[in-house]
Amino acid sequence: MCRICYKDFDINTTKLECSYCPRLTTIPFLPKLTELDCSNCLRLTSIPSLLNLTRLFCSYCPITSIPSLPNLIALDCTECQLTSISLPKLIELNYSGCRWLNIESEITNRLIVIQRRFRQLIKYYRFVRFIKSREFNEWFYAPEGIGGKNHKIRLEKFVSNLNKE
């Protein structure tokens, strides 16, 4: 049993470790709590909205959702039952073995957008480099090329305008 079950904790505590407690079902509201370790607590199914919580370790717990915790920066939920996470400030995330958590799809979607943009930029830079190359100029301004035919047409118009005057 842990300190919560024995009611042996201070209301101003900042770190709380209640790992491997077989009786823990809820976590009391502690206003100054910043770090919580509730790993392997098999009866704990939810976490209250603890406003100052910055680190949460809930590995091997049957917790299915985490409430909105605006200050949470580290989460360790290895082999958990979580189905979704919406924590914008999260810096450290360890979710190995989480079957229900679908984080890869969001990362994959962002990666696809970045790859598309990068391919577009590569095509643009290749095109600009090709336009500035000697091969392009020789092809474009050759007598049979687009630029050469265009130049011939403009030259014929210029000569015909001189003859009319």
Are 7 and 73 contained in the same domain?
Answer: yes
Write out pLDDT tens, residues 26-78. 887 788 888 888 888 888 877 877 668 888 888 888 887 777 788 888 888 88
Are 29 and 86 contained in the same domain?
Answer: yes
SS3 94: strand
The total number of structural domains that make up the chain = 2
Give the pTM. 0.56
Q: Is the pLDDT of residue 154 over 90?
A: no
User: Rounded to whole angstroms, how far apart are CA atoms 84 and 89?
Assistant: 15
Q: Please name which of 113, 94, 112 lies closest in space to residue 103, comparing C-alpha atoms.
A: 94
Are 18 and 98 contained in the same domain?
Answer: yes
Are 36 and 113 contained in the same domain?
Answer: no
User: Rounded to whole angstroms, how far apart are CA atoms 160 and 165?
Assistant: 9
Are 45 and 33 contained in the same domain?
Answer: yes
* Domain termination residue (choose one: 78, 102, 126): 102
Which amino acid type is present at position 23? R
Give me the domain span that covers residue 17.
1-102
Which amino acid type is present at position 124? Y
